[in-house]
Amino acid sequence: MTNIKHVFFDLDHTLWDFETNSALAFQKIFSDHRLNVQLDDFLTVYKPLNFQYWKLYREERVTKAELRYKRLKDTFDALEKYVTDDLIDQLAIDYIENLPKFNHLIHGTEEILKYLKSKYQLHIITNGFQEVQSRKMQSTNIDHYFDQIITSETVGVKKPNPKVFEYALTASGAQNYESIMIGDSLEADIQGAIDVGMKAIYCDFESEEPGNSENYIAVNSLVDIKQYL
């Protein structure tokens, strides 16, 4: 792929292994609070609810505080587990505090970052909470690979809003035609980047043979990016 000078990555689910680290964080805080909840049962209900609430959050239909509270409240309600509001609030705080302490990365993260660093300027564009994302990158020792780390909270809107990508391009001194976005969300990462004229690589880690589109490239592992960059 020619003319590319800037590579923008999403963080959660793309480089940082959110599912593994999130499960470990819940395991710890449930133990700390002596909460008798089966982790597997909790995560089975929580994961789709969390996905739904993040979509609402991207669409500005819930606040950060509502997301943090309601994804837990709805999960406990579905499990018919009574947990006080005070404890839910504390669990929400403790979860965010403990989440960045775990440092599992998606397979191939360090390999692809080392490979790309000598060839391109690397940046992060993330919808994750500003106070958490930098700590995640520090704990996994990948922060030094990136020149710019753009969070949606810094911009005031969330991916796929074009303002996020326009802000990131300006902050990094990049032009859209020389930039590519790599992420796991077709809506937030891929379409958002395409809409501002950037190229895109879709990380479809769940498919053995991801299908390319006329608008983007699809890979099922990070190391496959070497074929294109």
Average pLDDT over residues 54-79: 96
For the chain, domains (ranges, CATH) are 6-17+105-227 (3.40.50.1000), 18-101 (1.10.150.240)
Task: State the Cα–Cα distance between residues 25 and 38, nearest whole angstrom.
Answer: 14
pLDDT above 80 (res 3): yes
Which of 5-9, 68-72, 127-131 has the least mean pLDDT? 127-131
- Could you tell me the CA-to-CA distances from 221 to 151, 184, 202 in Å, in that order? 24, 11, 10
Local confidence band at 132 (pLDDT 50, 70, 90 cut-offs): very high
Q: Mean pLDDT over residues 51-76, rounded?
A: 95
Peptide bond into 160 cis (omega under 30): yes
CA distance 27 to 95: 10
Q: Is the pLDDT of residue 1 over 90?
A: no
Asked whether the predicted pLDDT for residue 211 surpasses 80, the reply is no
Question: Would you place residue 213 in the very low, low, confident or very high pLDDT band (cuts 50, 70, 90)?
Answer: confident
Look at residue 149 and tell me whether its pLDDT is greater than 90.
Answer: yes
Q: pLDDT exceeding 70 applies to what percent of the chain?
A: 100
Please report the pLDDT score of residue 5 as a whole number: 98
Q: How many CB atoms lie within 10 A of CB 20?
A: 14
State both tokens at 105.
């990365």
Residue 203 or 130, more confident: 203
Q: What is the pLDDT of residue 203?
A: 97
Beta strands in the chain, from DSSP E residues, in sequence order: 6-9, 121-126, 148-151, 179-183, 199-203, 217-219
d(CA 228, CA 224): 8
CA 38 to chain centre: 25
User: For position 210, what pLDDT does the model report?
Assistant: 72
208 pLDDT above the threshold of 80: no
- What are the angstrom distances between the C-alpha of 98 and each of 6, 13, 28, 192? 32, 18, 8, 30
Residue 228: band (very low, low, confident or very high) from pLDDT cuts 50, 70, 90: very high
